[in-house]
Amino acid sequence: MRGHAARVIRMCPARPAVTRETVLDQALTLFAERGYHGTPLSEIAEALGIRTPSLYNHMGSKHELLETILTRTLDEVLADFAAAVRDVDGPAARLHAATRVYALRHATHRREALVVNRDTTSLDEPDLSRVRERRREHERAVRAIIIDGVGTGGFQVGDPALASFAILEMSVSIARWFRDDGPRTAEQVADEFAGYALRIVRYRP
Amino acid sequence: MRGHAARVIRMCPARPAVTRETVLDQALTLFAERGYHGTPLSEIAEALGIRTPSLYNHMGSKHELLETILTRTLDEVLADFAAAVRDVDGPAARLHAATRVYALRHATHRREALVVNRDTTSLDEPDLSRVRERRREHERAVRAIIIDGVGTGGFQVGDPALASFAILEMSVSIARWFRDDGPRTAEQVADEFAGYALRIVRYRP
DNA sequence: CCAGCTAGCTAACGCTCATTCGTCTGGCGA
DNA sequence: TCGCCAGACGAATGAGCGTTAGCTAGCTGG
């Protein structure tokens, strides 16, 4: 720390401190609601209680906000996956764990998921390819589990790629309808979807 | 006809005729690629080989283009569903038919599906509620089939709403990865996904 | 108590976008 | 052949956007 880490600054006592993280958080909320192109910086600023140009004290550009959100999110998805399947043996248990953690993430990080699925195409080229490659990486990892299961674990599925798409994308959709105050908890939904995954690949214990 | 129906006008022989339908078609293509807010009218005009203001000879406003696309698409989805399950008896056969036609539509009408899923929120209020109600109508119809199947058709599913979400949204995702020149035909994918649907609800023949 | 940095503000710029208006032109009906 | 009109055009408008520049108040470290 450089002598003043986590310093709390508030010029007006009614206004909570604005930091790079609070800007990212508001951008995340509004991008998820209206989309990147549909969200003017003025709305982000207004939600934070400051004027638009003041945002530039906490960010480089609007584009960089999007890039940061997307990169962070995909890093977390891959980390989640790695942690979930580490020390788990057998294709059925691994597919169950991978689907569960992916579904859980889409229930608990709805905003991030909506932005990834809607606004990835708003990136421009160096980043776009990089982000897409990350998503493919995850899909390939899930597909590898399914292929493994077809060979050794009692899965019966005609096309592993098709099954992996179906499993991943039905999980993604959770972000579109899940509500924190709804009748089901995130964990319940994640467990149920993990069960769907095993049924899709026709796993018989 | 009023004396000149389907008249073919081309001021320059190299330029194909511009009509309301060709404008809608180009808007559909570009909205699907870049999103509604990310597509300027100038790009639609350029793709048609005319200048931007000339578009107004064929449309009311940019917003009306979006509204027309969304309304038409949802009408067709509901019509597809009704035609697919008409004269089909039994929850299993009905769920199979409903999923198959929905999946098939998302493989063959990718652009429409992408715009519906990305840009519905860009509508403003009278239309937004109307469009959302149509989607719910479809979801309720599919859920009703599942509930029926749980009671009488040998389905085993904890939460019919969850299952209907999973089935519908995994089908929606087809629009995101399906390619006409890919290794699988639209019919093959639709059949496979209809099978997934029956496995999700644990149907045993 | 002073220097300096942080982070806010107003003003302004340049650009793009959707939309309007008035004009012109070329093919069709009479 | 002549008048009409659908439809293309250029020019212009006004709003909104992201971004920059310059200024200022106040907290903090010395």
Question: Sorting pLDDT into bands at 50, 70 and 90, what band is A149?
Answer: very high
Cα-based distances in Å from B202 to B36, B146, B155, B158, B160? 39, 11, 5, 10, 12
Q: Are B78 and B138 in contact (CB under 8 A)?
A: yes
Residues A149 and A171 in one domain: yes
Instruction: Tell me if A152 is assigned to some domain.
Output: yes
Element (H, E) at B133: helix B125-148
Nearest chain B residue to A116, by CA: B118
Distance between CA atoms of residues B84 and B82, nearest Å: 5
Identify the pLDDT of residue A125: 85
**Does the C-beta of B9 come within 7 A of strand D?**
yes
Instruction: Tell me if B205 is assigned to some domain.
Output: no
Distance B37 CA to D13 C1' (A): 21
Distance A37 CA to D16 C1' (A): 13
Which of the listed residues A35, A57, A79 is the one where a domain comes to its end?
A: A57
Residues B69 and B52 in one domain: no
Instruction: Tell me if A15 is assigned to some domain.
Output: no
What is the DSSP code string of B40-95? -HHHHHHHHTS-GGGGGGT-S-HHHHHHHHHHHHHHHHHHHHHHHHTT--SHHHHH
pLDDT reading at A36 higher than 70:
yes
Residue A104 amino acid letter: L
pLDDT reading at A8 higher than 50:
no
What average pLDDT score do residues A171-177 get? Answer: 95
Instruction: Tell me if B96 is assigned to some domain.
Output: yes
What average pLDDT score do residues A17-42 get? Answer: 95
Residues A88 and A180 in one domain: yes
Q: Do B192 and A118 touch (CB under 8 A)?
A: no
Which CATH number covers residue B22? 1.10.10.60
Number of domains in chain A: 2
Distance between CA atoms of residues B145 and B93, nearest Å: 10
- Tell the residue number behind the tokens 């788990």, with chain if given: A88
Residues B68 and B50 in one domain: no
- Tell the residue number behind the tokens 């998820």, with chain if given: A32
Instruction: Tell me if A188 is assigned to some domain.
Output: yes
Residue closest to B100 by CA, chosen among B49, B167, B41: B167
Q: Which residues of chain B have pLDDT under 70?
A: 1-15
Instruction: Tell me if B101 is assigned to some domain.
Output: yes
Identify the pLDDT of residue A15: 57
pLDDT reading at A6 higher than 50:
no
Tokens of B182: 């890919």
Residues 5-34 of B with CB under 8 A from A: 33-34
Q: Are A32 and A111 in contact (CB under 8 A)?
A: yes
Which of the listed residues A7, A35, A57 is the one where a domain comes to its end?
A: A57
What average pLDDT score do residues A143-171 get? Answer: 93
Residues B43 and B119 in one domain: no
Residue closest to A18 by CA, chosen among A41, A50, A62: A50
CA A183 to chain centre: 22
Cα-based distances in Å from B150 to B144, B159, B167, B197? 10, 10, 15, 14
**How high is the mean pLDDT of chain A?**
90
**Residue B123: left (phi > 0), alpha (psi -120 to 50), or beta?**
beta
**Does the C-beta of A13 come within 7 A of strand D?**
no
What is the DSSP code string of A77-121? HHHHHHHHHTT--SHHHHHHHHHHHHHHHHHH-HHHHHHHHHHGG
Residues B71 and B30 in one domain: no
Which residue range(s) make up the domain with A107? 70-200
Distance A39 CA to C18 C1' (A): 17
Handedness of CA A104, A105, A109, A114 (dihedral sign): negative
Q: Are A181 and A175 in contact (CB under 8 A)?
A: no
Residues B127 and B145 in one domain: yes
Which CATH number covers residue A76? 1.10.357.10
- Distance, in angstroms, between B88 CA and closest chain A CA? 24
A159/B contact by beta carbon, under 8 A: yes
Instruction: Tell me if B48 is assigned to some domain.
Output: yes
Nearest chain A residue to B124, by CA: A34
B38/A contact by beta carbon, under 8 A: yes
Comparing A123-132, A134-143, B58-67, the range with the smallest average pLDDT is: A123-132
Residues A182 and A111 in one domain: yes
**Residue B53: left (phi > 0), alpha (psi -120 to 50), or beta?**
alpha
Residue closest to A44 by CA, chosen among B28, A94, A32, A152: A32
pLDDT reading at A126 higher than 60:
yes
Residues A112 and A191 in one domain: yes
Tokens of B167: 């089935």
First to last CA, chain B: 55
pLDDT reading at A88 higher than 60:
yes
Residue B102 amino acid letter: Y
Residue closest to B161 by CA, chosen among B136, B179, B143: B143
Instruction: Tell me if B145 is assigned to some domain.
Output: yes
**Does the C-beta of B54 come within 7 A of strand D?**
yes
Tokens of A48: 């934070």
Residues B84 and B161 in one domain: yes
B140/A contact by beta carbon, under 8 A: no
Q: Are B146 and B98 in contact (CB under 8 A)?
A: no
Identify the pLDDT of residue B37: 95
Residue range A13-23, pLDDT digits in tens: 445 788 999 99
- In chain C, which nucleotides are within 7 Å of a protein Cβ? 6-12, 16-22, 26-30
Identify the pLDDT of residue B12: 42
Which of the listed residues B40, B60, B80 is the one where a domain comes to its end?
A: B60
Residues A44 and A106 in one domain: no
CA A84 to chain centre: 15
Residue A71 amino acid letter: T
Residues A40 and A105 in one domain: no
For residue B18, which nucleotide's C1' is closest to its Cα?
A: D7
Residue closest to B118 by CA, chosen among A9, A122, A84: A122
What average pLDDT score do residues A171-194 get? Answer: 95
Identify the pLDDT of residue A7: 35
- Distance, in angstroms, between A200 CA and closest chain B CA? 5
Identify the pLDDT of residue B15: 57
Identify the pLDDT of residue B188: 95
Kindly give the interhelix angle for B20-34 and B110-119, rounded to the nearest 10 degrees: 60
